[in-house]
A and B are shown apart, each in its own frame.
Chain A
Amino acid sequence: MSKDNNKDKSTRRDFLTTVTATVGAVGVGAGVLPIISQMNPDSSVKALASIEVDISNIQEGKEITVLWRGKPVFIKRRTKEEVQKAEQVSMKDLMDPQEDKDRVKKSEWLVVVGVCTHLGCVPNGGVGGKGDYNGWFCPCHGSHYDTSGRIRKGPAPTNLEVPKYEFVSNNKIKIG
């Protein structure tokens, strides 16, 4: 065989190699996808993604904690002073600026996921609030949240998350 012949053949071989490698890569990718995807939340977990909560028994100033998607959700019936405090804060003083009215559906009711946005601990709250801003205080790494659940001081990067929720009636909310 001459060298020229080899050269001619190599282009054909190159083509076959590229096609084989491409098909192979797609095949491996298709095979890996289910292996990666199986680790994501399964259908039974997603099916439990919403809950309804009766809020008629919560007194002014009190707070309840319910479990939603394995996480605590704080439902707080804020006092007039707490609402006022939350609304009067200047945006300049906030680490993650957000108006109080954008975080609530009815100003009396604050619904937030009770998971510190730093590393996932449950902040302490309760009547009168905790921490320097009378909202919540995370015991793990010292993040302070105000009466609107906004981060004011400490390592947490963002405000307490407001879950997707709606008032089904005056006494009932649906989270998720």
Chain B
Amino acid sequence: MSSEKPNQEYKPVHTNKVGGSPFTGVTGWIDNRLPIIRMFKHEYLDFQVPKSLSYFWSFGGILTVCLILLIVTGLSLGMHYKPDAKYAFDSVEKIMRDVNFGWLIRYAHMNLASFFFIAVYLHIFRGLYYGSYKEPRQLMWLIGIVIFFLMMATAFLGYTLPWGQMSYWGATVITNLFSAIPLVGESVVTWLWGDYSVGDAALNRFYVLHWLIAFLIVGVVAFHVIALHIVGSNNPSGIEPKDTRDTVSFSPFTTSKDLVGMLVFLLIFVAVMMYAPNYLGHPDNYIPANPLVTPAHIVPEWYFLPFYAILRSVPDKLMGVIAMVSSIAILGLLPWLDFSKVRSSVFRPIWKQCVFLFVLDFFVLMYIGAAPAEGIYLVIGRIGTVFWFAFFLILAPLVSLIEKPLPMPGSIHEFEEWKKQGKIKTIKLFNN
């Protein structure tokens, strides 16, 4: 009743009062009730970034655009594709021949997947070279690895959908990786297939999962970006910005720079898509799936080759699968295995060489992954695999211990001065 005193403990759920928007009019009215417009202004227009960011920092934006384009083209393809073992191959051919601009949309989707991996590998290299995985960005790095695993899953699932020979046998080999799990492996594989082999049931669910994971990626990318806006961008100097002499506004400086990087990237993408649309694919995938004949040379898509080479270089089935999965997961330990206080390889003469050797190893393994698993290729593959793990488990902690970093500038603006004076060398191609 009215005689009771109001409960002092009570706090209103809506602690933010309507208001506080820097905008007026309709924009202000909306922003006062749903503060996404001020959030956008805060995170994308006024957001301060280090002024030394090079073109290597464009790949985050490029990847976002690729992801959006993949979803738009994927949605269009989904309107014509039929996830049925009887009709899948023909429906893809129908897209290529009959659907308006179907050829363009499919080639775009196919090649965007490849270019997504090109961009993500450059993005990961950037992180490795400039120590972007170090305190306080460890969690961002870990979220990035989750995205990479999801990308690989959805790329694999997407590749099975045209139901060509490579789709079918790729699906068979990859799903059979789960049969390496002790005791329950066979049951798990049967469960994944919904049959006793890869077939209609598998194709149908792969289609659904291809969609699901694409949107999971969007969600995890949001976490990646939110985390970025808390810890801020790393930069080529590896030094945190200290005052306004070290930073510029995200817009127009970073946005316009990203736009240049993005246009160059898309230009190369369009050139490949238009003039060599099948260069990155495999011709056997234009042969309809045949469960009775395995193609003589079964190879995964180019972006899986280094990890495929690691799988094959281990002679034991279970250990091979473990090695392949760990070869990626081990990236997640790097923030703790490399405990050097210096982030950027610009000031780390030994670590810099190690990173370049690691890149070389990546390409060697990529070559080996496409070569037959015998003789000299097997030997090189094994050396490459050993180096891959040694890079993380031995070189990273060892170099942190013994390396003497070069003299470093005190701030980002001083770093820029040193660069002008030629006192420090950065990677030429992406110098600016």
| Partner-binding segment picked from B15-23, B73-81, B256-264, B292-300 | B292-300
Enumerate chain B residues within 8 angstroms of A69, measured Cβ to Cβ.
Answer: 195-197
B320 within 8 A of A: yes
Q: How far is the CB of A10 from chain B (nearest CB, A)?
A: 20
| B195 near A39: Cβ-Cβ < 8 Å | no
| B298 near A72: Cβ-Cβ < 8 Å | no
Interface residues of B, CB < 8 Å — how many? 37
| A119 near B293: Cβ-Cβ < 8 Å | no
| A119 near B190: Cβ-Cβ < 8 Å | no
Tell me the residues in window 285-327 of chain B with beta carbons closer than 8 Å to chain A beta carbons. Answer: 291-298, 312, 314-318, 320
* Interchain pairs with CB closer than 8 A, number: 85
Write the B182-202 contact mask toward A (1 if CB under 8 angstroms, else 0). Answer: 000000001111111111010
| A45 near B173: Cβ-Cβ < 8 Å | no
In the assembly, what is the distance between CA of A69 and CA of B196, in Å? 6
Tell me the residues in window 163-178 of chain B with beta carbons closer than 8 Å to chain A beta carbons. Answer: 169, 172-173, 175-177
| B196 near A70: Cβ-Cβ < 8 Å | yes
A27 within 8 A of B: no
| B172 near A157: Cβ-Cβ < 8 Å | no
In the assembly, what is the distance between CA of A65 and CA of B194, in Å? 23
| Partner-binding segment picked from A11-19, A54-62, A135-143 | A135-143
Enumerate chain A residues within 8 angstroms of B201, measured Cβ to Cβ.
Answer: 41-42, 45
Assign chain A's interface to a size class.
20 to 34
- Given A119-B173, A139-B298, A142-B373, CB of A42 within 8 Å of CB of B194: yes
Write the A145-171 contact mask toward B (1 if CB under 8 angstroms, else 0). Answer: 000000000011100000000000000
| A65 near B292: Cβ-Cβ < 8 Å | yes
B205 within 8 A of A: yes
Chain B: interface secondary structure?
loop
| Nearest chain A residue, comparing its CB with the CB of B314 | A155
Write the A115-141 contact mask toward B (1 if CB under 8 angstroms, else 0). Answer: 100111110000000000000001111
In the assembly, what is the distance between CA of A122 and CA of B172, in Å? 10
A71 within 8 A of B: yes
| Nearest chain A residue, comparing its CB with the CB of B312 | A141
- Given A41-B196, A155-B315, A157-B317, CB of A120 within 8 Å of CB of B172: yes
| B315 near A121: Cβ-Cβ < 8 Å | no
Enumerate chain B residues within 8 angstroms of A122, measured Cβ to Cβ.
Answer: 292-294
Enumerate chain B residues within 8 angstroms of A142, measured Cβ to Cβ.
Answer: 372-374
Q: How far is the CB of B187 from chain A (nearest CB, A)?
A: 9
Listed A/B pairs (21) with beta-carbon separation below 8 Å: A39-B205, A40-B191, A41-B190, A41-B195, A41-B196, A42-B201, A45-B201, A49-B196, A67-B292, A69-B195, A69-B196, A70-B291, A118-B317, A119-B177, A121-B173, A122-B294, A139-B294, A140-B298, A142-B373, A156-B317, A157-B318
**Which residues of B does A touch, CB under 8 Å?**
169, 172-173, 175-177, 179, 190-199, 201, 205, 291-298, 312, 314-318, 320, 372-374
10 A-B pairs closest in CB distance: A70-B197, A69-B196, A120-B176, A119-B176, A121-B294, A119-B173, A120-B172, A122-B294, A71-B197, A157-B317
Q: A70-B195, A119-B177, A121-B173 are in contact. List 10 more A-B contacts (CB 8 A).
A: A40-B190, A70-B196, A72-B291, A119-B172, A120-B173, A122-B293, A142-B373, A155-B312, A155-B320, A156-B317
